[in-house]
Structure 1
Amino acid sequence: MSERVQRRTGATMVAAVLLGVGIMAALDEIVFHQVLAWHHFVETDNSALALASDGLLHTLELVMLVAGTALMLRLHETGQHAPGYRGAGFLLGMGGFQLFDGIVDHKILGLHQVRYVDNLVVYDLGWNLAGLLLLAIGYWLLRRARRGEALSQQ
């Protein structure tokens, strides 16, 4: 079997995206929900519900981390991982989570804000620009990996 056939770029991307989403969700949960106490996943006057919503986010993040790790380990174990795609998928997952959270959770669903301050625009811009930057770098790495793959097939 040739080297090209053995590499599973789609599975590598899925594993890396799951890991990226899981890590970014963990950073959000640990830093912004727990350490800084800026918000809960669902802001409400009911503190038990707010804490339970954080627990749900934490549970989903752990599921993603376990699933992504198991898949990536299996790919490494069988030699089927596509090395150029790991970083790309990881950063796309991180940026995707960040931007989804900033647009969907914060603005469309109104579950919570980044921080409850008078000048929210600065926090929203910082949050969403960070997500866009991660997505841009991830996309650049993905294009580089695809170019390298295309060159190796020639």
Structure 2
Amino acid sequence: MGIKTEGKHQNSNVMNRFVYANRNLWSGILFGIGFVAFIDETVFHQLLRWHHFYDKSTTDVGLISDGLFHAFSWFATIGGLFMFADLRRRNAIWLTRWWGGLFLGAGSFQLYDGLIQHKLMRIHQIRYVENVIFYDSIWNILAVLMILIGLSLIYRTRSRQPLRKGNSYEH
């Protein structure tokens, strides 16, 4: 009575992936935003010291803004991981869709940073040099590439049925 057959179990795994498709996407997006923000803050703010999150004031204010930015990146990363753990518990992970969300979130955040924060708001530049356009171009091109990869992966999960296998970790 309470025992599921293998076929029913496989079908429920596939159904879980569709029911939780948006959660897979948002988990990846949050993790991608947090991950790329963490890399930005760690590499460009701390290790290379090219800029602070907010460069229009003193170094102390810049360091405080970096700390707040770092906290934001960890909240997004951990939030995405909590959602991922919940999906795993529910046997509803759809890795291709999750990776699509990760690339979409990472690229969107990087493009937002490059266009809005660097150019429109001018709260900091990627690097304070004469040929900043070189750095801006690479930054924004990489962002667009990540967005395109993410959209491609998301489209693949939208346009085809997932594989009907018992393992819910399939692409």
Match of 1:61 in 2: 73
Q: Could you say which structure has the higher helix fraction?
A: 1
Deviation at 1:45, TM superposition (A): 3.7
Q: Are residues 1:27 and 2:27 paired? A: no
Q: Name the structure 2 match of 1:141.
A: 153
Corresponding residue number in structure 1 for 2:104: 92
Identity %: 35
Unmatched segments (≥5 aa) in structure 1: none
Deviation at 1:83, TM superposition (A): 2.6
- Aligned AA (2:40): D
Structure 2 length normalisation: TM-score? 0.84
Secondary structure at 2:160 match in 1: helix
Aligned to 2:15: 5
**Do structure 1's residue 41 and structure 2's residue 53 form an aligned pair?**
yes
TM-score normalised to structure 1 length? 0.93
TM-aligned CA deviation for residue 144 of structure 1: 1.4
The one-character-per-residue Cα deviations of 1:59-105 (angstroms, maximum 9, x if unpaired) are 10010011110010110111122232011001001101110000111
What is the aligned partner in structure 2 of residue 112 from structure 1?
124
Q: How many residues align?
A: 152
Greater shift after overlay, 76-85 or 89-98? 76-85
- Name the aligned partner's letter for residue 71 of structure 1: M
Deviations along 1:101-130, one digit per CA (max 9) or x if unpaired, are 001110111110010000111111111001
What residue in structure 2 maps to residue 15 of structure 1?
27
The equivalent of 1:123 in structure 2 is 135
Structure 2: gaps (5+ residues): 1-10, 165-171
User: Larger radius of gyration, structure 1 or 2?
Assistant: 2
